[in-house]
Copies of this chain bind each other. A is one copy, B any other.
Amino acid sequence: MDQNKRLQAVQDYYPDDVAHCYGCGRLNKHGHQIKSYWDGDETVSKFIPKEYHTAIPGFVYGGLIASLIDCHGTGSAALAAYRNENRAIDTLPALRFVTASLQVDYLKPTPLGPEIELRGKIIEVKGKKVITEISRIADGVITAKGKVIAVQIPENFSAK
């Protein structure tokens, strides 16, 4: 595998017709456009919340936390699936996952302001299902932990 490809965000290679997700689609100009990368055997994503992404004033909105864990979970699932097939993320067929189950435990309030880091561990890759554990880190402290069960969507999946 080309090492450079391992440094690209998997969302940059989502096919155009499945690249509109509010959380991670590069074609959704209203959305968060998060990016998921490999960092060794873990996956990483970084995000700076807007000032209005607040819960109680001073802390990050839990729904945003859940959203980022969700999207970094599906991005991590795609990264893991490509690696599992020993393929670069720009090769076809494209692998794209959606969330079947999301669990988030809020360990402590996440301060609003600092860049937030999401780190993913791949727990299991089995058939079309990938399980990841995502830690949410702010100022070096884990403030939330999530578990995402993601399933691969069929090619040419559409609501139409």
- Measured CB to CB, the closest approach of chain B to A147, in angstroms, equals 9
Distance, CA A157 to CA B66, complexed state (A): 22
- Measured CB to CB, the closest approach of chain B to A125, in angstroms, equals 20
The segment out of A38-46, A53-61, A86-94, A114-122 that lies at the interface is A53-61
- A54-B70 contact given A23-B63, A62-B102, CB 8 Å threshold: no
Contacts of A21 in B (CB 8 A): 54-56, 61
Contacts of A153 in B (CB 8 A): 56
CB under 8 Å from chain B, chain A span 55-113 = 55-59, 61-64, 66-68, 70-71, 98-106, 109, 111-112
Q: Is A128 an interface residue (CB 8 A)?
A: no
**CB nearest neighbor in B for A30:** B52
CB under 8 Å from chain B, chain A span 110-160 = 111-112, 153, 157-160
Distance, CA A112 to CA B28, complexed state (A): 15
Distance, CA A53 to CA B23, complexed state (A): 9
Q: Is A13 an interface residue (CB 8 A)?
A: no
- Known pairs A22-B53, A66-B67 / 8 extra A-B pairs, C-beta < 8 Å: A18-B57, A21-B54, A22-B54, A29-B52, A30-B52, A57-B159, A61-B67, A62-B70
